[in-house]
Amino acid sequence: MSQQASSRIWAVIGIGIAVIAVLGLLLAFLGRGLGPLAPMITPAVPTPPDDPVVASVNAHAIHYSFWTELVLLDQVLSGLAGQPAPSPGETLQRLINEELVLEAFSPEQAPTEEQIEAWIAALEQTWGVDDAAVVTALERVGLTRAMFEREIGRLLTVQAGLEALQSQGYDATAWLEEQRASAEIQVFPDVAMPVASGFQSPIAMAGISPIPTPSTETPPPTPAIAVSKVAPDFTLEQSGGGMLTLSEQLAQGPVVLVFFQSGGG
């Protein structure tokens, strides 16, 4: 995984915590017209009846319903914080990273109800909204305050795990890269892609002009090069030292080029 990709993933895992710890940006979202008469927004992609597994981390399955709930929550909280919302794919990667942390570090004690409420109160103060406004924003996309509380509790547990990691002298980014390389991680694109490509921001669906933010969506990938096409030449640094150029390898014979998703193969 490139440093940029790991930094991006680390930023996303931080978003979950940063969103709940953001300072400064006052809310414009709720002030722009959401209120008790605002129409209910429904997610673009309903949950299939069998609630399929969208990804797995070692033995832990991440189900469709859990993922889409978190995507909606990320959208709502990012809107309240005035920050660009992560894409559904980024939310899924965050869940995978959080699962790796939770598997490795179990805190001695789960967050208390008081701790969770204190965090929620701090967030609402930062956003300049009252609890009723947050509940309204959640309920407009089919979420509940109870679900919000559960997620805050889960994020606080992940945060405790990260603190334990760092207190033991680990570099969190390097640790996470190693965990991702050695873990059995599967993403099931047949399940995930319809959501990732078809999901719309609740803000956009409400027809409300949001705070202008840059798009966080990754451009759609181009199809793989077809048979009979010329293979693009390239030069890259290799594991054994020095650089390797494809055309130089081809001068010695045919080449089998293998792209690995991770170093685990």
Partner 1 sequence: MVSLVVASIEVVRGWCQRAGVSYPMLADTEHRVSEAYGVYNLLGDGLAAPAVFVIDTDGRIVWVHVGQHSGDRVDASTILARLP
By CB under 8 A, tell whether 8 contacts partner 1. Answer: yes
By CB under 8 A, tell whether 168 contacts partner 1. Answer: no
Segments in 82-207 forming alpha helices (H): 88-104, 113-127, 131-139, 145-167, 172-182, 189-198, 202-205
By CB under 8 A, tell whether 59 contacts partner 1. Answer: no
Contact segment (CB under 8 A) with partner 1 among 138-146, 162-170, 199-207, 227-235 equals 227-235
Site string for partner 1, 181-210 (x = CB under 8 A): x---xxxxxx-xx--x--------------
User: Are the CB atoms for 172 and 10 separated by under 8 Å?
Assistant: yes
By CB under 8 A, tell whether 93 contacts partner 1. Answer: yes
Tokens of 186: 């599967």
With residue 55 as reference, give the H or E element that holds it. Answer: strand 53-57
User: Are the CB atoms for 44 and 71 separated by under 8 Å?
Assistant: no
By CB under 8 A, tell whether 122 contacts partner 1. Answer: no
User: Are the CB atoms for 59 and 189 separated by under 8 Å?
Assistant: no
By CB under 8 A, tell whether 4 contacts partner 1. Answer: yes
Fill in the amino acid letter for 72: L
By CB under 8 A, tell whether 95 contacts partner 1. Answer: no
Closest approach of Cβ 206 to partner 1, in Å? 26
Sign of CA dihedral 76, 77, 79, 80: positive
By CB under 8 A, tell whether 74 contacts partner 1. Answer: no
Closest approach of Cβ 232 to partner 1, in Å? 4
User: Are the CB atoms for 69 and 147 separated by under 8 Å?
Assistant: yes
Q: Report the Cα–Cα distance between both ends of the chain, in Å, rounded.
A: 12
Contact segment (CB under 8 A) with partner 1 among 31-39, 140-148, 161-169, 237-245 equals 237-245
The CB density around residue 134, as the number of other CB atoms within 10 Å, is 21
Closest approach of Cβ 182 to partner 1, in Å? 9
Closest approach of Cβ 229 to partner 1, in Å? 5
Closest approach of Cβ 48 to partner 1, in Å? 18
By CB under 8 A, tell whether 251 contacts partner 1. Answer: yes
Instruction: Identify the residue among 23, 37, 146, 226 touching partner 1 (CB under 8 A).
Output: 226
By CB under 8 A, tell whether 11 contacts partner 1. Answer: no
Tokens of 83: 């920050």
Residue 186 pairs with which residues in a beta bridge?
56
Q: Which is nearer to partner 1, 170 or 188 (CB)?
A: 188
Closest approach of Cβ 14 to partner 1, in Å? 16
Contacts 24+ apart (CB under 8 A), 121-126: 122/21, 123/20, 123/21, 123/22, 123/80, 126/22, 126/23, 126/24, 126/81
By CB under 8 A, tell whether 232 contacts partner 1. Answer: yes
- Contact residues toward partner 1 (CB under 8 A) are 1-5, 8-9, 89, 92-93, 177-178, 181, 185-190, 192-193, 196, 218, 221-234, 236-240, 244, 246-247, 249-251, 253-265
